[in-house]
Amino acid sequence: MNLLFCCVGAKPEPWVAGLRAELPEANVQDWTPGALPADYGVVWAPPQQFLDEQPQLKALFNIGAGVDALLKLRLPPAASVVRLDDAGMSVQMAEYVSHAVIRHFREFDGYEADIRSGKWSYRKPLMRANFPVGIMGLGVLGERVARTLTQFDFPVKGWSRSPKTIEGVQCFSGEAGMADFLAASRVLVCLLPLTPETTNIMNRETLSKLQPGAYVINVARGAHLVDEDLIALIDGGHIAGATLDVFRNEPLSTDHAFWKHPKINITPHTSARTLREETIAQIAGKIRAVEGGTPITSLAGVVDPNRGY
């Protein structure tokens, strides 16, 4: 069985060595133009040339959870796309989002500024009941984040395409449930996949439906958010601030208003990183299952091209 590694931005040597160690029966190579035909690709943002040269590929294993960039390419006709199914990401996402919610709710930025200016002062505790957290997207990552936030006793709301039942979480679904979900949320966390339906989903109209003093956390993709609308709503006072990990163009251009906005915290797309060992183990396990007769379409994380995630 032949496997090609083609991940832009990742150093190939440790990946190829790790895949060879997990799949000793496979011929694993780092892709170069003209490579022999392979059965499987392990990919991240591969060049179109790789896909065009490998029309026989049976599956493309994406080394991230989001497949929006991959689905923009012309894919080999018979290749299933398989995304990462957690692989150590959900705990990172739960840490990141909990940190952002708690930092805002406990006013830690304000305390830090006070301390730095030599001021010993207390703020009146805020009421947790007044900070319902709404999670858009209740998949592998969103559900873990929702469950984690219930442990801190925040009221937690969730919104997904299909109806869900999650203990301690008030779930809404579909377009029909969106307005009620937004009205019930003061903190909004985006953990949706980027699809035509979810592009620009956080805009002036939807963000205005959040409770006054809202806080926005985007950890999914930059194109979910209309940047100017967020800034206008923060400057107008309806939104208190935001934590943003993802941007329409990455790296974020040096002149973007987000860098210096006093009410916006940014991080460089780091909320849930791909962990090499977990990722290799997951992909190798799936390849072994397929080689053993499991249909690719029954693997966890198989992408439905019609849904776009």
Binding residues for ligand NAP, rule CB under 6 A, total 29
- Beta-carbon contacts of 27 under 8 Å, excluding residues fewer than 6 positions away, are 1, 2, 3
From ligand GLV, ligand NAP, none, interface partner of 286 (C-beta below 5 to 8 A by class): none
CB of 93 to ligand GLV, least distance (A): 10
Contact with ligand GLV (CB under 6 A) among 16, 19, 23, 65: 65
Distance CA 190, CA 177 (A): 16
Question: Which helix (H) or strand (E) element contains residue 41?
Answer: strand 40-44
- Residue 4 or 264 having the CB closest to ligand NAP: 264
Question: Min. distance of Cβ 11 from ligand GLV in angstroms?
Answer: 17
Helices (H), the chain: 12-22, 48-53, 68-71, 89-105, 108-116, 140-150, 174-183, 204-208, 227-236, 276-291
Cα Rg for the chain, rounded, in angstroms? Answer: 21
Q: Phi then psi for 40, rounded to 5 degrees?
A: -130, 150
**Site residues for ligand NAP, window 79-108 (CB under 6 A)?**
89
CB proximity list for 243: less than 8 A, separation 6 or greater:
100, 103, 104, 215, 216, 217, 218, 264, 265, 266, 267
Contact mark string toward ligand NAP, 207..246, x via CB under 6 A:
------------xxx-----------------------xx
Among 41, 64, 132, 158, binds ligand GLV (CB under 6 A): 64
Q: Which stretch binds ligand NAP (CB under 6 A): 70-78, 140-148, 252-260, 292-300?
A: 140-148
Rounded Cα distance between 30 and 52, Å, is 16
DSSP, residue by residue, 88-140: THHHHHHHHHHHHHHHHHTTHHHHHHHHHTT-----PPPPGGG--EEEE--SH
Write down the least CB distance from residue 105 to ligand NAP, Å.
Answer: 21
Q: Which is nearer to ligand NAP, 20 or 276 (CB)?
A: 276
Of the residues 47, 66, 285, 308, which one makes contact with ligand GLV according to CB under 6 A: 66
Please state, in angstroms and as integers, the Cα–Cα distance from residue 76 to each residue in 52, 57, 220, following that order: 7, 6, 26
Does 271 bind ligand NAP (CB under 6 A)? Our answer is yes
Residues 265-294 that bind ligand GLV (CB under 6 A): 274
CA atoms within 13 A on the CB side of 180: 11
Question: Is residue 161 at the binding interface for ligand NAP, with CB under 6 A as the rule?
Answer: yes
By annotation, the residues acting in catalysis are: 221, 269
3-state secondary structure of 250: coil
With CB atoms as reference, the residue minimizing the distance to ligand NAP is: 139
Per-residue binder mask for ligand NAP (CB under 6 A), 241-270, x = binder: ----xx----------------------x-
CA distance 69 to 130: 38
Residue nearest to ligand GLV (CB): 64
Q: Which residue from 162, 165, 249, 254 is in contact with ligand NAP, where contact means CB under 6 A?
A: 162
Q: Which residues bind ligand GLV (CB under 6 A)?
A: 64-66, 274
Q: Which residues bind ligand NAP (CB under 6 A)?
A: 65-66, 89, 137-142, 159-162, 191-195, 197-198, 219-221, 245-246, 269, 271-272, 309
